[in-house]
Amino acid sequence: MPVQSSPARDAVRGTAPKLAEYADTLIYGEVWERPQLSKRDRSLVVVATLIALGRERQLEGHLARALDNGVSKEEISEIITHLAFYAGWPAAMTAALIAKDVFATR
């Protein structure tokens, strides 16, 4: 099944076409489609990981994906609050600002 691209992948496609292709076919074509975890659960894991690692540029898109996959705004808020104690206060505060912007577009 063909996977719809994303603005982030399209932005790097001209610079690193194979990277974008792997994202389309491997990450979103295979890994995200494995039945062992729901897309909702995968979104929870990815959002938490991006917050913990401070991957701000990817967080915005994955927060939107998480909402699309059934994660509520309240659950995202709780993830951010919970991670403040494990990933650090600055990471949580940054994630909260990014989430605020994402929520405002919904």
Please say whether the beta carbons of 95 and 83 come within 8 A. yes
Rounded mean pLDDT, 14-25 = 91
Rounded mean pLDDT, 20-48 = 95
Rounded mean pLDDT, 45-56 = 97
Q: Within the chain, where are the H helices? A: 7-13, 17-22, 39-53, 56-68, 73-84, 89-104
Confidence category of residue 7, pLDDT binned at 50, 70, 90: confident
Nearest Cα to Cα of residue 79 among 44, 50, 103, 34: 44
Above 80 in pLDDT, residue 3? no
Domains and CATH numbers, the chain: 1-36 (no CATH), 38-106 (1.20.1290.10)
Q: What is the pLDDT of residue 2?
A: 55
Rounded mean pLDDT, 49-72 = 97
Identify the weakest region by mean pLDDT among 14-23, 47-56, 61-70, 89-98: 14-23
